[in-house]
Structure 1
Amino acid sequence: MASAASLLAIDQRIIELESTIADARLTKRWALAWISLGNILLIGAVIAGNVLIDFSKPGSGRFLLNAMGAIATLISIGLSVSLWREARSWEREQIVQLLQAQAERRSEQVATEPDSSASPPFQDYYRSIPDLRDEYRKGAEKYRGRHNLFQLTVIVGSILTSVSTTAAAEQGIWSWIAVGLSALVSVSAGIIAYFKFRERSLNLQQTADSIDLEVQAYRLRIRRYKDLPPEEASSVFAEEVERIREEQRKKELQLEQPPEAAPQQRSQPI
């Protein structure tokens, strides 16, 4: 029981490390976007100020504008590069700790196997299940993040499009901004509808949870594994996990089909 508790603690640590790595990668992406896009926009703002501002008026100085813009740009570049390097170092440290935790989990799994007399192929199969479960969970998080990104683009873009359309009545440049935002919203909505990130994330998360529940039931010898001989319990466990994986593959194939083909497939007799 102590080994099982230790294995659960290691699994919890792995989940926390994976979440920390995801946060570090997100920070690194934002820093990279700041380096490439944010600083370019800042330089563009300084150039636009030189073009659009009338420096012939009293109190306006081109030198002051350029000096402040240059200082702000240098500070921005320095901070963004520093943030990116710090996030990269943080990510590498967490990856090392994750690999160590995964090695500890593999060693602990030998002591927590319900039946050490099982065949070597089944023991290898049983030890690979946590990695398979984690792979499904990572896929679910990846698709969930993509769905949230494009959905947020649709929501914010729709609001900004309405505002730009209203402002276009006074200034012509806003009409072009409204057109660009409308195109961005349409493209984002089309990507969501075609790739179905939310459905993929939900299916992968359900599969990972089902595998996790099956592993716990097999360890505790409850539900379908209650009072079963060790050899039969091992066989039932492998069959159930493969059934869950097969259902996941079928769900993926259904998502790959065009919308008009789904009703036809459901209407066909099985």
Structure 2
Amino acid sequence: MSATTSALIQHRRDIADLEQRVKNRRLQVFGLYATPIAAIFMILAWIGVKVFVYLHSDTPSPINWTAFGLVVFLVVATIAQFAAEFSDLSLWEDDGVSVKALRLRLELAEEERILEARRLTPPTAERQASYKERLPGEIARLRSDSRHYRRIHLLMQWILFLASSAITAVTAWFDPPQPAKGVLIALGFTVTVVTAAAGYFKPRERAFNLQQTADSIEQHATAIELGIAPYGDADEVANLKSFTTTVEALRAEQRMREQQLDQPQQGQQEVI
């Protein structure tokens, strides 16, 4: 069993490593093309400013020094990247390898993991027991997401409270149109944006749903750990099967509620 676990873990590590290498290689290739192009555009922009804006006068020193510094930086970055890519020093792990080739390696590694997992898959009871042991991490994630959305909701509410109060206070305090007019416009804009964002993203509802799912999963995890209803059966395998079925149903319900929150109000009513 330990050898099987180690083999599957190693496959996952190899896939994670390849995924990171693909990301790094994409950035490297992007830099190889984008940096010299950016340097050329910077030089052309510098020349364009001189020709179209300061043709009959001297270009201001801040513009010259800023443009010169950016050009030097981009040229140095281009030289460094080309040296890392085409020199024999092997400064990059995958220099000379295309992103397409790395993605092919990643696909082959994933296919190999799937075939190996089919060959080494442990019995159902062991997988269900492992599933139960992974739930504390899932519960912690749900609670963390719930706290995140709760904080966003509280921040939005405080902004609404303060901005709404400030609108009344500024209106009562200032008689002349300025600067009260500008302040009122800014505060009214803030209230409108925050109200629209709160209605669209619904952080309060998201926090409530996540917290409710986390509490339900934790309740079932405690029940199976203590051997109480609905997992008081003497057959441990039957308890695990019932437990995993229930938890997956709770997670599916949570995903459905998230999808409903992501839909417009009319779409939510149609789903419901």
Following TM superposition, by how much is the alpha carbon of 1:220 offset from its aligned partner in structure 2, in angstroms? Answer: 1.2
Following TM superposition, by how much is the alpha carbon of 1:188 offset from its aligned partner in structure 2, in angstroms? Answer: 0.7
Matched, 1:238 2:247: no
| Alpha-carbon distance between aligned partners in 2 of 1:230 and 1:119, rounded to the nearest angstrom | 9
Q: Which position in structure 2 is the counterpart of 1:154?
A: 160
Q: Which position in structure 2 is the counterpart of 1:221?
A: 227
Match of 2:131 among 125, 134, 141: 125
User: Normalising by the residue count of structure 1, what TM-score does the alignment of the two structures yield?
Assistant: 0.53
Q: Which position in structure 2 is the counterpart of 1:181?
A: 187
Instruction: Say which SS state the counterpart of residue 140 (structure 2) adopts.
Output: helix
Instruction: Say which SS state the counterpart of residue 141 (structure 1) adopts.
Output: helix
Following TM superposition, by how much is the alpha carbon of 1:262 offset from its aligned partner in structure 2, in angstroms? Answer: 1.9
Residues 141 and 258 (structure 1 numbering): CA distance in 2 closer, same or farther, change over 3 Å? same
| Alpha-carbon distance between aligned partners in 1 of 2:140 and 2:195, rounded to the nearest angstrom | 29
8 A Cα contact 1:118 1:231, kept in partner: no
Residue-by-residue CA offset, 1:66-110 (whole Å, 9 max, x unaligned):
xxxxxxxxxxxxxxxxxxxxxxxxxxxxxxxxxxxxxxxxxxxxx
8 A Cα contact 1:207 1:245, kept in partner: yes
Q: Which position in structure 1 is the counterpart of 2:270?
A: 264
Residue-by-residue CA offset, 1:123-180 (whole Å, 9 max, x unaligned):
3211110000000000000000000001110011000011112223246201211111
**What's the C-alpha RMSD, in Å, of the aligned pairs?**
1.6
Structure of larger gyration radius:
2
Paired residues, number: 150
The amino acid that maps onto 1:246 is A
| Alpha-carbon distance between aligned partners in 1 of 2:171 and 2:184, rounded to the nearest angstrom | 6
The amino acid that maps onto 1:237 is F
* Aligned pairs (5 A) from 1:128-139: 128-139=134-145
| Alpha-carbon distance between aligned partners in 1 of 2:240 and 2:200, rounded to the nearest angstrom | 40
Matched, 1:253 2:259: yes
Q: Which position in structure 1 is the counterpart of 2:174?
A: 168
Instruction: Say which SS state the counterpart of residue 138 (structure 2) adopts.
Output: helix
| Alpha-carbon distance between aligned partners in 2 of 1:252 and 1:210, rounded to the nearest angstrom | 16
Instruction: Say which SS state the counterpart of residue 265 (structure 2) adopts.
Output: coil
Instruction: Say which SS state the counterpart of residue 260 (structure 1) adopts.
Output: helix
Matched, 1:201 2:207: yes
* Aligned pairs (5 A) from 1:44-63: none
Following TM superposition, by how much is the alpha carbon of 1:221 offset from its aligned partner in structure 2, in angstroms? Answer: 1.2
Q: Which position in structure 2 is the counterpart of 1:144?
A: 150
* Fraction of identical pairs, as percent: 30
Following TM superposition, by how much is the alpha carbon of 1:224 offset from its aligned partner in structure 2, in angstroms? Answer: 1.2
Following TM superposition, by how much is the alpha carbon of 1:118 offset from its aligned partner in structure 2, in angstroms? Answer: 8.2
8 A Cα contact 1:133 1:211, kept in partner: yes
8 A Cα contact 2:260 2:271, kept in partner: no
| Alpha-carbon distance between aligned partners in 2 of 1:228 and 1:256, rounded to the nearest angstrom | 43
User: Normalising by the residue count of structure 2, what TM-score does the alignment of the two structures yield?
Assistant: 0.53
The amino acid that maps onto 2:165 is I
Residue-by-residue CA offset, 1:10-37 (whole Å, 9 max, x unaligned):
xxxxxxxxxxxxxxxxxxxxxxxxxxxx
| Alpha-carbon distance between aligned partners in 1 of 2:227 and 2:258, rounded to the nearest angstrom | 31
| Alpha-carbon distance between aligned partners in 2 of 1:168 and 1:263, rounded to the nearest angstrom | 45
Runs of 4+ deviating beyond 3 Å? none
8 A Cα contact 1:211 1:241, kept in partner: yes
* Aligned pairs (5 A) from 1:65-84: none
| Alpha-carbon distance between aligned partners in 2 of 1:250 and 1:212, rounded to the nearest angstrom | 20
8 A Cα contact 1:161 1:178, kept in partner: yes
Structure 2 unaligned blocks of 5 or more: 1-122
| Alpha-carbon distance between aligned partners in 1 of 2:125 and 2:178, rounded to the nearest angstrom | 75
| Alpha-carbon distance between aligned partners in 2 of 1:166 and 1:176, rounded to the nearest angstrom | 15
| Alpha-carbon distance between aligned partners in 2 of 1:181 and 1:151, rounded to the nearest angstrom | 14
